Structure 1
């Protein structure tokens, strides 16, 4: 396959408007957006005019049937991810689906089965793992003779606080009421399946936080240091919006801490402490494009302490992620963030939830 990939996009909210559509336009040598879908008719029409797309749908499954599409981006609310992904692969389309791919293990298995049956690719949108600073950290880890401790932290202000100051996201008040009811009912059903019908509201909020923001952190952690042996302890508070957990590995421990508040700062990093070297991957908000992800190396050699900050590129991880996806589809390179990989995160979420009961 040596032509541009024709793209259909399901969901035209903030992640589509701020990130995916502008990046796809910048990668016009690789991608061409030819179909759009959203349940807001006004938003659909406006974005269609802006990007000169005439194939417009309010039904996602109808979009997946458009014959000339090569790939479909599933960017809508996560309660609908599974249905959209499966419909796309059943119509022989490759898929990039934003995290979380789904909310339950049974849905993950359904996606994997449908993908295998139709011999297409399904990629989960874990863009932090495509940041060059993170990839360099993965290589640096191989040079560490010992890990003493790892800290995974993601304490951030609400995304809307960053978006309000940096982007103009279009929103209209024409969402069908029955669609909003359906969304809430789906969410309840899926979370019931994942953590039980008797789970308190605080635990439900925590589970959605794990599937959302925390999936970025724990997915990157797994690539960097592997899957933990067990969750030693976990706590949640502030209505489930703050979480801490201690994870056990063979010869070290990792602490994970996350929360969302109203302070406009983005404190997201992974720190690995070795005997003579410490490395930190420091992330920035993805909603302001091209803010760098840095790798900070601190070490002591012959009694001399030094720090080195590496910023490999200003190219944002989302762009690198979409370049990877293009290579997967057109050249058959090995896909990094697979549904099987995502399912590991669901397993880890379960372990944390069990410690919180």
Structure 2
């Protein structure tokens, strides 16, 4: 069965990943509508893929119909658009973050509460074949420690190979201003008027670190507690403590280098650490997830998500009669492709996604707990309702 699908948001991830893969999987999907705030980008994309439906407003596209499912690839919170799509009866593949607030997530949970799941959150690394190999070994369930390190260059550095056209300049300024204001209202509802560093921690966790949270949830029961949070900018000397981190980063650079460190306990026992480093000029994106257990280790190394076909590498280390035995795998099928196939199975067969509203809600709570840990009594919004961790 071919699923008729619409795509909202035609930016970098759509151009480099989703649209080429939907074309590759044309035996499973029929692209029938596209939508972007830019009229020129919408027209160019619709012409490129031979799409009849072309829109510059998501609500107009959802009301017009002509498709079974929608991929929400827009920026910011997807809560309002996802809720509207569910009310119209569509299946939804939603890029992260699903939402900025727990209130939005609760609304989505009510809308997606039927016997057949209708919303999948786009945590593609959960569908990586190398991750499936780790799950098959069951080593993560007994992990003593899971250590995550993300080395994140600028998007420009990661995307130089794609030779994308310059961003369009025909988006109405008033439309952009209204969307930014709406997102600001949601962020304020989530964490209040916290200092800039705490706000940045929240958006970084939901927009990037959430991928690592999704892996911890799949592999080891997710984050049970957060007992350490640190942030620091370029060449800090040492990571600041909770009491100094907010002041240190409040006027920190938007580019250059900045780092996030989270640590705590896993749902299955053991501990995790996450080190996330934005390094604008680092030569290549690299994400390493190292799982250490009583009899060995498993190490996953993920490449940049934008380069389809770049392998995810897995190394398994075990004992062998007093010696060390290592097995190495390189899986090249794009995790995004496996994610789309899983979405197709959800639409056509009712197969539950690895992450739906409940998992995304867990990530929102984790992000709010991190801000609560960092900002303490200065935290507002929903995060202020969570217990102080000390």
Aligned to 1:48: 46
Q: Tell me which of 310, 332, 345 is aligned to 1:314.
A: 332
The alpha-carbon deviation at position 110 of structure 1 amounts to 1.2
Distance 1:340 1:31, change over 3 A: same
Is 2:37 aligned against 1:39? yes
Aligned to 1:148: 144
Distance 1:40 1:333, change over 3 A: same
Moved more, 39-48 or 164-173: 164-173
After TM superposition, the score normalised by the length of structure 2 is 0.86
Q: Aligned partners of 1:211 and 1:169: how far apart in 2?
A: 27
Moved more, 185-194 or 321-330: 185-194
SS of the counterpart of 1:264?
Answer: coil
Q: Aligned partners of 1:117 and 1:307: how far apart in 2?
A: 45
Aligned to 1:137: 134
Aligned to 1:209: 204
How do 1:258-297 residues align onto structure 2 when only pairs under 5 Å count? 258-262=276-280, 263-297=282-316
Q: Aligned partners of 1:251 and 1:113: how far apart in 2?
A: 31
Aligned to 1:219: 214
Q: Aligned partners of 1:218 and 1:355: how far apart in 2?
A: 17
| Contact preservation (8 Å) 1:144, 1:277 | no
Is 2:8 aligned against 1:10? yes
| Contact preservation (8 Å) 1:298, 1:306 | yes
Is 2:270 aligned against 1:252? yes
After TM superposition, the score normalised by the length of structure 1 is 0.93
SS of the counterpart of 1:178?
Answer: helix
Aligned to 1:90: 87
Distance 1:34 1:146, change over 3 A: closer
Q: Aligned partners of 1:331 and 1:117: how far apart in 2?
A: 14
Q: Aligned partners of 2:141 and 2:120: how far apart in 1?
A: 33
Gaps of 5+ in 1: none
How do 1:60-139 residues align onto structure 2 when only pairs under 5 Å count? 60-79=58-77, 81-116=78-113, 121-139=118-136
The alpha-carbon deviation at position 119 of structure 1 amounts to 6.1
SS of the counterpart of 1:307?
Answer: strand
Moved more, 37-46 or 247-256: 247-256
| Contact preservation (8 Å) 1:90, 1:114 | yes
